[in-house]
Every structure is written in structure tokens, then in C-alpha cells.
Structure 1
Amino acid sequence: MKRMILVLAAVAIAGYSFGQKKPKINQAEKAREEGNLGEAKEIIDAAIEHEKTKEDGKTWYYRGLIYASLDTTSNPQYENLANEPLKVAMESFAKADELGGKSEYYISDANGLPILKSQQLQTLWGYYLNKGVEGYQAQETDKAVENFTKTQWVMPKDTTGYIYAGLAAQSGEDYATATKNYYSLINDLDYQSEDIYNSLIYIEGTVNKDMDKALKLARDAKSKFPENPDFAKTEINYLIQMDKIDEARSGIESAIAKDPGNSSLYFTLGVMYEELEQKDKAIEAYAKAVELDKTNFNANFNLAVLHYNNAVALVTAKNNLGITTEDRKKAKAMEKDILAALENAMPYWEEVLVLEPENRTALESLQYIYSQLKLNEKAVKVSKKLEALGDVE
């Protein structure tokens, strides 16, 4: 008797399953379009379980649309119908692609024109990007990061969401999230940016106090952006902070021994000596860099600055002297040294101006130098160039 009851129960269950109506997936999409997201979700959830619809790519495509709508809806009635609806939506779209053929899924607009899935994803991506920007502008960095991160789910290969999420997180001092996004950019998406490396170096070295990571990043950046002298300077700075001065020096000197005609290596040597406050050796190294390559902008610029700063230091010392007879003698003697330092700086500033004709720092420095050296015609020309550039914004 007991066995008969079990058999009858099994038959009843089988009969119930067999008798379930096939969910109408088109009705689910119609409900979504009309804003009835609860109904749409109920139908589509049943459809992904039903034998006759669960292997249909269109079922999963509609599910993606419905769950994406649940994530973007402003209707509080539907806001909490699903957990992480966007993730469910993207998983559904992926499943639809897996089951579908070569043709792209689409729905029709009011005029009967097709709206392709790729277009719908682009619109969804733009929605989250705009929401992220709104959050950032309102200084709600958590909301900004949340929405920028969602753009990554929609378009995982697009770098924009990672850049914005990283910047927003860094602005909100959420450095863990910032670095996660920045590392994704350089390691996973091969997005090589000086700004991204600078941010990572700052976070790892200054915030996280991980000098080894910061040093590695500086070296990677130096390799990827050889024209940017700041990364070489950063590398040397970290080596000095880590008490690895001999490593810094030997590394540069070894490279120079292998390639003695390399102007950039002498520039790097100059940077190291400047960091060690050995200015005479720095000047010597920069001068060698310029000798090897007259167009080495950074070496010319640093040489000009060092000589010019020598003059400034002398002027400051002279101005701090008193009015005694001995002080006046010292001041007069110092005037020659000041003019000599300005004369030393002048050719390098002039070369900087050849390489960058609108370099304001060079123009302003030369204006002062020409005036002090009584080179009035040159001073007038430089003044006119500065006037033409206008005020700094």
C-alpha cells in the first residue's frame, strides 16, 4: 500500500511538471518595456528553468535586459527584487551568446527598427558612466566608484571605467580600490600611462610605505617612458631612501661603461648627484650629457637651473650683508661671482629656448640675465616674446 502511494505521488509530480505551461518569453520582454519589472522577472525566471525555453539563447538575452532594467530602475517597488542584478544581467548576456548563432540579438524600437544588443550595452555603459560622473562631481566618491565599476562589468575591455574608478577611489582615499584599478590597467589591459604609474608609485611608496614596489614601478615606468626624466629621478630617490646609494651609482656607471656615448645615462648620473646634493658632480655629469647631445632638453634645463640657482643664492647672501665697510667690500666682490653664475646659466637657457621656443621659465630667466648683463637688445626681444605669450592662466 505504501509503495502504491509513493508511485502515485511520483506520477502526480511528473504530471504536474509535464503540465506546466511554457513561459512566454516575449510577454516577459513586453512587461519590461511597459515597466512591469516584477511580472517580467517572474516570467523570465520561470523560463530559464523550463525544458522548452532554458536552452533558447533569446530567453537569456531577455533575462539580461530585464535584470539590467532592475539595476537601473528608479522605481522603489522594483529596486530590491534581485541581488546584484547587473551581474546577473551580464552573466545572462554571456549565456545568450554561448547559445546563440552568428546573428546578433536585438529588440525593435517604436518604429520597428532593430536595437542591437551591442547598442543596448553601449547605452547601459553610458548610463553608469554618467552616474559615476554625477557622483564624483557631488563628491560622493563611493557612489562614483560603484558606478564606474559597473561600466567595467558591461565593457570589461574598455579602459575608461578603470581610469575613472581609480581616480575617484584615490580622491576618496580608498587606495586599495585605486591600486586595484590601476594595476588592472597596466597589467591586464596593457594601458600604459605616465599618470597611472605616477599614481601607483605615490600610493605604494608614500601611502603604503612599500618602497620595493614603488622602486619596481619606477623602473618599469622608466623603461616604458625613456623620454620622461622624472622616473629615473624617482628610481634614484628610492634607492637613496633605501640606503642603496652604491647600487644606484654602480648601476649607472656600469651602463655608461657599456655605452659611453649615451647622453641620457650621463643625465641620470647628474640626477643622482643632484639628489645626493653633490652639485659640482651633477653639473659635470649634465655638461657631459650636453656635450654628447646638444639637444638633450633635460640636461640643458637642469644645468641652466643649477647655474641660475647659484646666482640666486649669491644674490640672497649679498642682500643679507650689512652696511659696514667690510660688508660693502664683500658685496662688491660678490657681484662678479653673481654675473659669472648668470653667464654660466645663459647658454643653457638659450638652448632650452631653441628646443622649446615658448618655454616661459627660460624666457623669464633670460630676461633677468640679459638685464643684469646689460644685453639690452636681447632683453627687449625676450620681453616681447613674454608679452606675446600673455598671462599665465
Structure 2
Amino acid sequence: MKTRILTAVLAMFTVVAFAQKKEIRRAGKAVEKGDYQEAKSYLNQAEAQLSGAKQDEQADFYLYKGYALVGNGENVPTADLMEAAEAMKKAKELGHEEAEQGMATVSNALVNSAIADQNAQNFQEAAKKLETSYRLNTQDTIYLYYAASNAVNTQDYDAALKYYEELQDLGFTGEEMIFTAVNKETGEEERMASKEQRDLFVKAGTYINPQERKTESRKGEIAKNVALIYIEKGENEKAIAAMEEAKKENPNDAILMQAEADMYYKMGDMQKYRETIEKVVEQNPDDATLYYNLGVSSAELGEKDKAIEHYKRAIELDPEMSNARINIAYVILSQEEPLVEEMNKLGMSKADQKKYDELSVQRQEIYKEALPHLEKVLENDPNNIEAARTIMNIHYQLNNTEKAEAMKAKIDQMQGANAAPTNGQ
């Protein structure tokens, strides 16, 4: 009697297992047809008895589940993408030979969805998807780098720090070779997927002027971001330690030195900032931006003559750098403040009146010295309203009423052009 019951149970199990195998097979066919909803239905029916299935059947189940969840890759909910990633990893663990291809499909869907999130400024979701994509294939370290960048954008500094430190442990540089060629039809330079593709197009005669170049290392940027994150967390000592550690490998790396300078600027240590920037300038003597930054730090340290010197050097290297010209004018005009304070303290005696007149002349000389720099800004950038307003005020102070009124009219014109039209206009 007991033997008969056992036989009946075994027979029933065989029927369930066979049905389950059939459902998994049907799910696979539905995936091949692109009927992902039907595939999900079959997989739901098979899942209840999955633990009793053979390993190769379980591997098929998870592979088909991953494909069914991703579908055509468009507008896939985040939860489905994450579940698809887990399913493909499970298929690989179970030894499915097609799992690698499936993981690549899910990874592409995750990256494309993350790009859409970035464009919508949904940085938190983008970071999550990019990290998941990296976990599917840890060779794609660039996705972990982008995950960190998105985490920074959403101010999730703990996650960003975790990703950046993992990249540092991996020795990530972000350097890559870029292959380009010019499209003969459009005349535009285009980036190719590989050297082989570029060479094939050039050989076919549709592209010309093949080029290749290596991108800059991202190690300095990562070191800077790690340090800045520590600063945001109020851990300045860790920030400095992180930068010092990064410099051990490449102590003369200009990118790292720039990152170090940015760190000290963020900390408000202008002395250390300037010292570091000066080292960067030694390696990049023709970089106008570096001289501009030196001008900013010198001005903040009260070294006005040195600030003007640096700004003028920046302009020599880049004559279109309007900010440097404006800052020269502001450094010059800042000399007015102590004069005004002294003038306000003077009394009504003849000696005081004489001193007042002398200071008034000095004040006018300051205006006259600043004016050409501002006029040059307006010449290069006719819509620079900040420069225009300062020029107008200077002319009023110099009693150049006609010029001041002309500049006022120009400012009114600028503001009118920038004003948004009201309803009915």
C-alpha cells in the first residue's frame, strides 16, 4: 500500500516537472517572437515549481526572464531593469552559455535608460542604473565612473565616495583611444566604434583623414572629487590626505596639481591655492586660465599689483578674456574705498578741504585708469551689461554727463532686448 502511494506521488511530480519544462520552453519561443508579455505569463506559471527543475532548465528560465523584462529596451521601468540584471546574473551562475550576451543586452538597456535619466536630471536613478550595468561586467569601469558623477550631481556623497574609491583601488584612469575620420559627404569629423571600422570606411573611400588620439587621464579629476567630497563632509584632513596619496604616484602631474589647487580654494586657503597654481603654471606657461586664477587668488590675498600683473598676462595669452579685463577694472576701483573713507572723516577746515580736493583728484584718476579696461570689454562684448553699468557710473562721477546718458540709453536698450514679451505683444 505504501509502495503504491509513493509511486503515485512520483508520477505526479513527473507530470508537474514536464509541464514546467514545457512552460519554460514556450517562454523561450515567445521571447524569440518578441512577445514579451506572453513570455512573462509562461514564466509566472513555471516559477512556482522552479526549485525542482534541473539546473539547465533553471538557467533557461532566468535567461528568458531577463529578456522578457527588458523587452525591446524602451521605457522599461527601473524595477524591471534591476530584476532583469539579477536574472541574467543567475543564468550565468547556473552556467548558461548565452548569459554573457544576455547580460550585455541588459547592460545596454540600463545605460540607455541612464542617459535618458541624466537628460531629465534624474541623477539618482541614473547612478543606480550605471552602477548595476558595471556590476554586470566589471570590465566596463567607465560606467562606475559615470555612476559616481551622477551620485555627486544628486549630492549622494557617500555613494559617490564609495564608487570613486573603488575606481582608485582598481587603478582606473579613464584613458582611451578615440578613432576618427572625416565624412567626405558632410565634411564633418566623426568618431568610429573601433580602429577596424574607421580603416574599413577609409578604405571604401567614404571617409578621409583618419586620426587617433588618447583621451586625458581622469585620475586627477577623481582625486579632486574625493577631496571635495571630504570637504563637503567637513573632513578637511581626510581631503588633504586623499590628495597627498594621489600625488605619490605622479607628483608632477599637472592635472593632479590643478585638482589640489581647487581643493585648497574650496577650503578657503588662498595662500596654499596660489602656491599650488604657481607650480601648475610652471608646467603650463601658456595657459591663460591659470594666470586668471592666479589673479583671483592674489586679489583675495590683497596683492593688487600682482593680481593685475597676472590678469594682464592672461589677456596677452587670450585677448578675448573679458573676465580678466573686468577684474583688472575692479582691482583698480577697489583703491577708491579707502579714499572715500578718508574723505568722509575730514572736517570743514581749510586743511581738510585741501586734503579733500587732493583725494578727489586721486579718486578721479582711479576712474580714468579703470575706464579703458571696461570699454575694451564692451568693445569685445557689446551686450555686457555689467561693464556698461560700471562705465555709466564712472562717467557720472567724472561729470561726463553726455557720455553717461548715452551709456544709460544703451543699457535701457539691452534690458529691453532681454525683456520677455507680455501677452498680446
The normalised TM-score by structure 2 is 0.55
Aligned-partner residue type, residue 63 of structure 2: Y
How far did 1:285 drift? Answer: 3.6
Q: Which residue of 1 aligns with 2:194?
A: none
Q: Which residue of 2 aligns with 1:64?
A: 66
How far did 1:185 drift? Answer: 9.4
Equivalents in 1 of 2:380, 2:225: separation in Å? 29
Asked whether 1:202 is paired with 2:228, we answer yes
Distance 1:91 1:346, change over 3 A: same
Equivalents in 2 of 1:240, 1:73: separation in Å? 41
Instruction: Extract unaligned runs of 5+ from structure 2.
Output: 1-9, 135-141, 176-216, 421-425
Which residue of 305, 324, 331 corresponds with 2:348? 324
Asked whether 1:125 is paired with 2:125, we answer no
Aligned-partner residue type, residue 37 of structure 2: E
Asked whether 1:33 is paired with 2:37, we answer yes
Asked whether 1:167 is paired with 2:123, we answer no
Which residue of 358, 362, 379 corresponds with 2:387? 362
Q: Which residue of 2 aligns with 1:234?
A: 262
Equivalents in 2 of 1:200, 1:359: separation in Å? 37
Instruction: Extract unaligned runs of 5+ from structure 1.
Output: 1-12, 106-116, 137-143
Report 1:247-326 matches (<5 A).
247-248=275-276, 251=279, 254=282, 266-290=291-315, 294-318=319-343, 320-321=344-345, 323-325=347-349
Secondary structure of the structure 1 residue equivalent to 2:302: coil
Asked if structure 1 preserves the Cα contact closer than 8 Å seen for 2:254 and 2:283, the reply is no
How far did 1:368 drift? Answer: 1.0
Aligned-partner residue type, residue 301 of structure 2: L
How far did 1:331 drift? Answer: 3.1
Equivalents in 2 of 1:298, 1:250: separation in Å? 20
Equivalents in 2 of 1:357, 1:267: separation in Å? 22
Distance 1:184 1:299, change over 3 A: farther
Q: Which residue of 2 aligns with 1:178?
A: 160
Aligned-partner residue type, residue 311 of structure 2: Y
Q: Which residue of 2 aligns with 1:151?
A: 129
Asked whether 1:91 is paired with 2:89, we answer yes
Residues 55-103 of structure 1: CA deviation (Å, up to 9, x unaligned):
65xx44323256779x9699xxxx9xxxx8455134257789973499x
Distance 1:100 1:265, change over 3 A: closer
Of residues 29-38 and 356-365 in structure 1, the stretch that sits farther from structure 2 once superposed is 29-38
Asked whether 1:340 is paired with 2:342, we answer no
Asked if structure 2 preserves the Cα contact closer than 8 Å seen for 1:233 and 1:272, the reply is no
Equivalents in 2 of 1:212, 1:119: separation in Å? 35
Equivalents in 2 of 1:160, 1:307: separation in Å? 44
How far did 1:345 drift? Answer: 1.2
Secondary structure of the structure 2 residue equivalent to 1:284: helix
Equivalents in 2 of 1:377, 1:285: separation in Å? 34
Report 1:73-92 matches (<5 A).
85=83, 87-92=85-90
Report 1:100-111 matches (<5 A).
100=98
Secondary structure of the structure 2 residue equivalent to 1:354: helix
**Aligned-residue identity in percent:** 21
How far did 1:337 drift? Answer: 1.6
Equivalents in 2 of 1:363, 1:346: separation in Å? 11
Asked if structure 1 preserves the Cα contact closer than 8 Å seen for 2:378 and 2:387, the reply is yes
Residues 195-219 of structure 1: CA deviation (Å, up to 9, x unaligned):
9998655323353311354689999
Residues 214-269 of structure 1: CA deviation (Å, up to 9, x unaligned):
6899999x96699xxx979736747993975895486378559xx5x776665454
Distance 1:355 1:299, change over 3 A: same
How far did 1:295 drift? Answer: 3.7
Distance 1:254 1:176, change over 3 A: same
Asked if structure 2 preserves the Cα contact closer than 8 Å seen for 1:215 and 1:235, the reply is no
Equivalents in 2 of 1:263, 1:99: separation in Å? 56
Equivalents in 2 of 1:285, 1:120: separation in Å? 48
Distance 1:200 1:306, change over 3 A: farther
Secondary structure of the structure 2 residue equivalent to 1:99: coil
Of residues 237-246 and 383-392 in structure 1, the stretch that sits farther from structure 2 once superposed is 237-246
Which residue of 22, 42, 47 corresponds with 2:48? 42
Equivalents in 2 of 1:127, 1:274: separation in Å? 41
How far did 1:26 drift? Answer: 4.4
How far did 1:385 drift? Answer: 3.4
The normalised TM-score by structure 1 is 0.59
Of residues 34-43 and 237-246 in structure 1, the stretch that sits farther from structure 2 once superposed is 237-246
Asked if structure 2 preserves the Cα contact closer than 8 Å seen for 1:182 and 1:200, the reply is yes
Residues 143-186 of structure 1: CA deviation (Å, up to 9, x unaligned):
x84x4443225544668765443322x1xxx4221334567899
Q: Which residue of 2 aligns with 1:140?
A: none
Of residues 147-156 and 183-192 in structure 1, the stretch that sits farther from structure 2 once superposed is 183-192
How far did 1:387 drift? Answer: 2.1
Asked whether 1:350 is paired with 2:378, we answer no
Secondary structure of the structure 1 residue equivalent to 2:357: helix
Asked if structure 2 preserves the Cα contact closer than 8 Å seen for 1:64 and 1:91, the reply is no
Q: CA RMSD in A?
A: 5.6
Report 1:184-195 matches (<5 A).
none
Asked if structure 1 preserves the Cα contact closer than 8 Å seen for 2:374 and 2:387, the reply is yes
